[in-house]
Structure 1
Amino acid sequence: MALQLSFSVSDKCTTILLKGSLNEYSSALDGVEVNPNFDLNIDLKDLQAINSLGIRNFHSFIQRVRCQRLKLFYCPRVFVNQINMVEGFLPDKAEIESFFVPYFSEQSGEDAQVLFTKFLEYKKVKDKIVLSIPEMQDSQGNRMDLDVFRDQYFRFLDKYY
Structure 2
Amino acid sequence: MRLMIDFEESEIHYIKKSDFEALSSKDIPVNKIFFLCDKIEDQVITPSFESDCHVLKKDNDTYQVQLTQMERRKFWDAPVGLDVYMNWKKKRIQEMQEEGISIYQDDWDDDGDYIHLGYYIDIQAKNGKEVIEELVRLIEINIEDTLQLKIDKLMDFDSKLDNRTII
Shared fold, TM over 0.5: no
Specify which structure has the higher proportion of strand: 1
- Greater radius of gyration (CA): 2
- Relative contact order: is structure 1 or structure 2 higher (C-alpha 8 Å, sep ≥ 6)? 2
Specify which structure has the higher proportion of helix: 2
